[in-house]
Amino acid sequence: MKEFFKIEPKLLELDIRAREMCKDTFAEIDRISMHNQHKVLSAFINNKVSEADLGISTGYGYGDRGRDNLEKVFAECMGAEDSLIRHNFVSGTHTLAVMLFGVLRPNDTMLCLTGRPYDTLIGVLGIDGHSDGSLKDFGVNYEEVALNDEGRPNLDEIKSRLKNKFYKVAYIQRSRGYSLRPSLTVEEIGVLVKAVKEISPDTLVLVDNCYGEFVDTIEPTSVGADLIAGSLIKNPGGGIAPTGGYIAGRADLIEKCAYRLTCAGVGREVGASLGHNRELYMGLFAAPHTVGEALKTATYAGALFELLGYESTPKYDAKRADIIESVLLGSSEALIAFCQGMQKGAPVDSFVTPEPWDMPGYDDPVIMAAGAFTLGASIELSADAPLREPFAAWLQGGLNFASGQAGVLLGAQSMIDKGIIKL
């Protein structure tokens, strides 16, 4: 590495120690990646994916066999009855909005089981004063259960709410978002699903699955979630899908979501793929391996920064529920230095210096290191954070571990160069 990058010898010594610390965790990541790769390959074979599925449709997109077969393949990979996977979902938030608008109706109430949702969903819900075109604007009510003192879902309070009132939707956010609460494993989501269904069987359990796909050998649909949704420029696009999102779960609910994505009475039958089928198939096929590389990068970052004296969550040897690593850097100066150093290790726009800015959908200025082939692709190495306490960098992605390792080291080197870290 020292042949290509200017990195302090003492930092390179810590790099060797960090990788040694991660050996057992890396082995477990490889085991899960292999299982998931076999699962995905089996789904491709079972659904007879062919060269014809990789073709182009235009106009209305009627009879797009590749689009339709991809949804069968993806459903099998997610352990779901059906799926809706399209390039014209413009973001994860858009996909979640389609899922929510698809199943909720005026006067329905949804209950978020995992505290305040991710920043960009606030406008969709219509809370905190944002209402134009939101669920609130359409007469849908929103409630949430605050997390307990350990940052976990408050199961007793959830059960109490469900016993006293009917909620059409119980909503779970798997990843932590811009918070430090632990992300939820599939097993933990299963406990929540069981609690909801035992008390209120007709309540639909919806999961924001962003950052969690292929991190475990099963998905939330395998433990009873009615619908899950996520973005294709995160885990399931494998770093190849250029845009898009998915919803997977019960077939009847997927149909409702399709009517929201296009229009009532037409639904999933339309939507030209415009040549994107090949990229979406390739991305899904690459996803298990790519997710494994991102998990290794996150694990390594946790180990390296622990050696540098910083707290990271989850710890490098902890069971992981998503690809995100949070590094608590303690000051805006450290956060900015780290992100600027990470940017220097990007394959695209490495010469650019990221600065905090007022990013749409966020209440605080956000700094983002994201030199990616696909704009905003969180499965590619990136680090971002709002400039607010505790000044943690949320790191995710890495198409391969070697480049992810370099990016993390350059982030630390930037902090050394600015006198924030002293070795």
In a domain, 358, yes or no: yes
Section 249-271 average pLDDT: 97
Confirm whether 42 is domain-assigned: no
Residues 99 and 112 in one domain: yes
Instruction: Read off the pLDDT band of 340 (50, 70, 90).
Output: very high
Q: pTM of the predicted model, to two decimals?
A: 0.95
pLDDT digit string, tens, across residues 188-247: 999 999 999 999 999 999 999 999 999 999 999 999 999 999 999 999 999 999 999 999
CATH classification at residue 215: 3.40.640.10
CATH code of the domain covering residue 352: 3.90.1150.60
Same domain for 203 and 261? yes
Tally of domains in the chain: 2
395 and 295 share one domain: yes
Q: Are residues 64 and 192 in the same domain?
A: yes
Instruction: Convert the pLDDT of each residue in 383-414 to its tens digit.
Output: 988 898 889 999 999 999 999 999 999 999 99
- Are residue 211 and residue 325 in the same domain, yes or no? no
Which amino acid does the sequence have at 160?
A: S
Per-residue HEC secondary structure of 348-367 comes to CCCCCCCCCECCCCCCCCEE
Report pLDDT for 325.
96
CA neighbours within 13 Å on the CB side: how many for 105?
Answer: 3
CA distance 320 to 310: 19
Task: Specify whether 279 is located in the same domain as 293.
Answer: no
- Predicted pLDDT of residue 131: 75
Question: Does residue 326 surpass a pLDDT of 80?
Answer: yes
Question: Are residues 202 and 267 located together in one domain of the fold?
Answer: yes
Question: Quick one: 168 and 260 in the same domain?
Answer: yes
Residues 248 and 357 in one domain: no
Q: What is the pLDDT of residue 361?
A: 66
Domain that includes residue 67, residue range:
52-284
From residue 263, give the alpha-carbon distance in Å to each of 136, 272, 384: 21, 15, 36
Lowest-confidence pick of 210-219, 249-258, 359-368: 359-368
Per-residue pLDDT of 68-110, as tens digits, reads 999 999 999 999 999 999 999 999 999 999 999 999 999 999 9
Which residue from 350, 395, 402 is spatially nearest to 19, judged by alpha carbons?
A: 402
Same domain, 199 and 337: no
208 vs 358, higher pLDDT: 208
Question: Quick one: 383 and 248 in the same domain?
Answer: no
Percentage of residues of the chain with pLDDT beyond 70: 100
Q: Which among 225, 260, 284 is the end of a domain?
A: 284
Could you give the strand order of the β-sheet that contains 204-208, starting from the edge strand earlier in sequence?
A: 82-86, 245-249, 227-231, 204-208, 169-173, 109-112, 141-144
